[in-house]
A and B are shown apart, each in its own frame.
Chain A
Amino acid sequence: MALARVFEERGFAEVIPPSIESAEVFAQGAGSGAEALRAVDRNGHLLALRADFTAQVARIAATRLSGVSPLRLYYRGSVVREAAAASGVPRERLQAGCELVGEADAGADAEMVALAAASLLALGIPAGASRIAVGTVGYFSALIAAAGASPRLARALTDAIDRKDLPGLTLLCTREVAPGKARDALLMLAQPPRRQAEASALLSRASDLAPGEAASAALQRLSSALELLQARDLGAELEVDLGEVRGLGYYTGLVFNLYTAGAPRAVGGGGRYDTLLGRFGDPRPAVGFSLDLDALVPLARPA
C-alpha cells in the first residue's frame, strides 16, 4: 500500500486498535459519540464499534505508550458511524490516518498538514486537484468565551458559521451577543475563505478584533504554521478559513479539511487536540488527520 509506505518513510509506525471498545472512548469524538453504533454486553458495559480512530489512538498513547515521546503512529481500517438516513453515506467507511503525540509546536502542525497533502498524492490524486482549508478552533473558542455565550448559543453560532449562514449569524449576533469586538469577530467568521497568498489581510483583521490573549495566541499560532507550510511544495493549495469550526469535539487548535475535485464533501481532515490524552490520564499535546479512503480511491488517477 503506497500510503503506508509514505507514512513509514516519515517515521510513523502502524497501530492496530480494536474494532470494538468501551463506548466511553468515543464520547468526545464524532458527534459526541452519538453517531457510534453501540450495544450492551452481558455484563452491562456499553460498547461501541470503532467510530473514530483518533480517540482510540489517544487512549493507547496515553496508557500503553505513555512515556514514549514523540510518538508517530498511523492506522488504517474501517470506522462505523450512524449516518443520517438517505444521506448516501454508508455506515462503514475505510479510513487511514496519522497521529503525532508529544509535539506541541507549530512545526508539528505543519508536518501533519504536509503529510496529509503528500498522502493524497501517494493515493494517486493528481497534484493541483486538492485544496486544504486551514483554520483554528482556538480563535472561535476564545470569541465564544469573550462573548459569554451559553452552550446553546455556542452551538447555534457554530452551526451558523459552519454553514456560512451570514444572514442567520447576523440575526443571532444582533439578538444575543453584546456589541463589541467579539461580536464583530464572530460575524467575520462566516466570510468566504481566502487563498493563502491573500490570507494576511484576513488574519490581521481577525487579530485587530481579537478580544484577548487567547484569541491572539491562536491566530499567531496559525500564522506560524502557515508560514512553515508556505516554504513547502504541497501539491495542493491552501485556503485560510477561520470559519472552519466543525468537526470532532476534541480539537483545540489548528484544524484542516481536505477537498479534492470530484468529491462532493471533505475527503479528509484533522487538527490539534491537546486535551484528549489528558482524559486518559496522560496529558500530552497531539495533532493528527484521517483520510476517507472510500471517497479518495475512486478519484485516483489510473497508474
Chain B
Amino acid sequence: MITIALPKGRTLQATLERFASAGLSPEEDFASTRKLIVAARGVPARFLLLKDPDVPLYVERGAADLGVCGLDHVLESGADLLVPLDLGFGTCRLCLSAPRDSAVARGWRSGESGAERGRSLRVATKYPRLTARTFARRGVPVDLVPLSGSVELAAVADLADAIVDLVETGRTLKENGLVVIEEILQVSARLVVNRASYRLKLEQLLPVLERVGGPA
C-alpha cells in the first residue's frame, strides 16, 4: 500500500494527470466528493487531499509515502525529505517586492535596505523561514510580519515596507502598485518522498517515480 499526498491548490489537476499516467487514479473524483482520503482504482494505493503547505509534514512523518508540492513549501517547511523529481508545472517565482517609488524599491540595488532610520525593514510574508534566511544571508536586519494571505495589501496599507510572496504573472503586484525588487527562488512542483518509504517500498515506488517524472 502506498499513500500519496495531493496538494488541493492550483496544481491539483496537473498532479492528478501525472499520477494517472503512472496508472494511479482516485476511485472518486475529488471535485465531487467531500472525502479527503480516496482509494486508488485497482491498485493498492490511496490519495490524501491536503492544503499545499501541509504536504511536506505528512510525508516527512510517514503519514504519506510521497506527495507533490511546490518547492516553496518544501523549503519553508524545513522538512527532511527526498526531492527526486522536478515535475515542471506550477512554475512561479518567490520575490521580494515593494511599492513603486518607495525607499526600498529605489535603494535595494545600491545596497540600501530602505528601512527607516533606527528601524529594521518590515517584511510581510507567508514564508517567514525562507524570508528570514534570505535576509540573514545578506546581513540585513528584518522585522518579519507573518501573514496568511493578501500579502500585497501589507505593503500598500503600510503594515510593512516590503513583501516576500509568489509572483506568477505579476498582475496582482501591478494592480496594487508594487514592483519586484529581487527574485529569491524559482518555484515549481516537486515530487517529495519519505526517507524510510524510499528504502522500504523501493519496488513499488520506483515505477511510479519513473512514470510520474514523465518525458521531462
Residues of A within 8 A of B (CB): 84, 87-88, 131, 133, 163-168, 190, 192-193, 195, 239, 241, 257, 259-261, 263-266
Q: Which of B85, B86, B198, B199 counts the most A-chain CB atoms under 10 A from its CB?
A: B199
Q: Are A164 and B84 in contact (CB under 8 A)?
A: yes
In the complex, A16→B68 CA distance in Å? 46
- Name 13 interchain pairs, CB-CB below 8 A, sorted by A: A88-B61, A133-B199, A163-B82, A164-B82, A166-B84, A166-B85, A192-B84, A192-B202, A257-B199, A259-B196, A260-B196, A264-B197, A265-B195
Residues A266 and B196 in contact in the complex (CB < 8 Å), given A163-B83, A164-B84, A192-B209:
yes
Q: Are B61 and A264 in contact (CB under 8 A)?
A: yes
Q: Are B62 and A192 in contact (CB under 8 A)?
A: no
Q: Are B200 and A165 in contact (CB under 8 A)?
A: no
Interface size for B (C-beta < 8 A) is: 22
Chain B neighbourhood of A257, CB < 8 A: 199
In-complex Cβ contact of B195 among A190, A195, A260, A264 (8 A): A264
In the complex, A166→B213 CA distance in Å? 12
Chain A neighbourhood of B86, CB < 8 A: 167
Chain B neighbourhood of A241, CB < 8 A: 199
Chain A neighbourhood of B202, CB < 8 A: 131, 192-193, 195, 239
In the complex, A180→B198 CA distance in Å? 29
Q: Are B200 and A163 in contact (CB under 8 A)?
A: no
Which 5 A-B residue pairings sit nearest by Cβ, starting from the closest? A264-B62, A167-B86, A164-B82, A259-B199, A164-B84
In the complex, A257→B195 CA distance in Å? 11
Nearest chain B CB to A303 CB, angstrom units:
23
- Interface bits B105-146 vs A (CB < 8 Å: 1, else 0): 000000000000000000000000000000000000000000
In-complex Cβ contact of A165 among B84, B196, B206 (8 A): B84
In the complex, A195→B199 CA distance in Å? 10
In the complex, A77→B161 CA distance in Å? 51
Q: Are B83 and A164 in contact (CB under 8 A)?
A: yes
Chain A neighbourhood of B209, CB < 8 A: 192
Quick check: is B170 within 8 A (CB to CB) of the other chain?
A: no
Chain A neighbourhood of B197, CB < 8 A: 264
Nearest chain B CB to A246 CB, angstrom units:
10
In-complex Cβ contact of A167 among B81, B85, B196 (8 A): B85
In-complex Cβ contact of A190 among B78, B81, B84 (8 A): B84
Q: Which of B60, B196, B198 counts the most A-chain CB atoms under 10 A from its CB?
A: B196
Nearest chain B CB to A30 CB, angstrom units:
14
In the complex, A263→B209 CA distance in Å? 22
Q: Are B200 and A131 in contact (CB under 8 A)?
A: yes
